[in-house]
Amino acid sequence: MKIIALVENRSDCELKPRHGLSLYVETKNHKLLFDLGPDDTLFDNAKMRNIDLSDIDTVVISHGHSDHGGALARFLKENAKAKIYIQRRAFERHYSRFLFLKADIGLDRQLKNHPQVILLDGDAEIDQELSLFVVNRIEKCCSSANDSFYEGGQKDVFLHEQNLMIREEQTAVLIGCGHIGVVNIMEKAQSFAPQICVGGFHLFNPPTRKTADKRFLDEIAENLKKYPQVRFFTCHCTGKKAYDYLASKLPNLHYLSCGNVIE
């Protein structure tokens, strides 16, 4: 299994950074993308790494925010074979609100009925290698960075968020923003006993520029200490300040920036 960050907020190489996420994954049976990022960044960075996106057979969009699925329309123009797995509710209206400002952060709803798009309602088994799961309730470590997000006219509870499990010689769980909480996601994932977890923890709120407080970060660290056998790679919406603090307490936590490779 190989995982390459093609879209991420930071870059230490020739690839272009962008607020968003897209992970390219090669497995024994698949070439897949987990999220697509917001714009053309995915295509530019894939070209620099000689990755042919027309070879992709599977796409998973983690949730209904444009920084994870904004490039879907262009992808569908360049790839006519990949199956796009997404929760049905991801095509609801999603927006962020800060003070009197309201911003549309949803996906292109016209793509909902595209023949390559497969709408899901909860957990799904793609094949023996890939499965998707949702977490229905935020029970622990609910980030205040979620407070500015809405679905329709109500606070978002992120039932449109899904996670990917990849089972090979090692098992990896891929999460997008982890709005539902990495602690809750890992608790549900334990039936698969993953050795790798990759994705954002959503501990930084871009509209307010605020990072989750240390008391909350300590709570997350204590819960993640239950998994010393797991290599955690975080990125995107975790934020550098939160990452630095958590990494000082979790030796198995690493940052995944643009161009970084996990094998």
Q: Using one digit for the tens of pLDDT, what is the confidence trace for 43-69?
A: 999 999 999 999 999 999 999 999 999
**128: its two tokens:** 């023996």
Alpha-carbon span 58 to 36, nearest angstrom: 12
Banded pLDDT at 138 (limits 50, 70, 90):
confident
Question: Beta 58-60 vs 31-34: how paired, if at all?
Answer: parallel
Taken in order of first residue, the domains within the chain and their CATH numbers are 2-262 (3.60.15.10)
Residue 20 has pLDDT above 80, yes or no: yes
Q: State which H helix or E strand residue 163 sits in.
A: strand 163-167
Cβ atoms of 1 and 166 within 8 Å: the answer is yes
What 3-state class would DSSP assign to 254?
Answer: strand
Tell me which amino acid residue 258 is.
C
What is the pTM (predicted TM-score) of this model? Answer: 0.96
Q: Using one digit for the tens of pLDDT, what is the confidence trace for 188-229?
A: 999 889 999 999 999 998 777 889 999 999 999 999 999 999
Residue 38 has pLDDT above 90, yes or no: yes
Alpha-carbon span 58 to 133, nearest angstrom: 16
- Mean pLDDT for 131-141 is 89
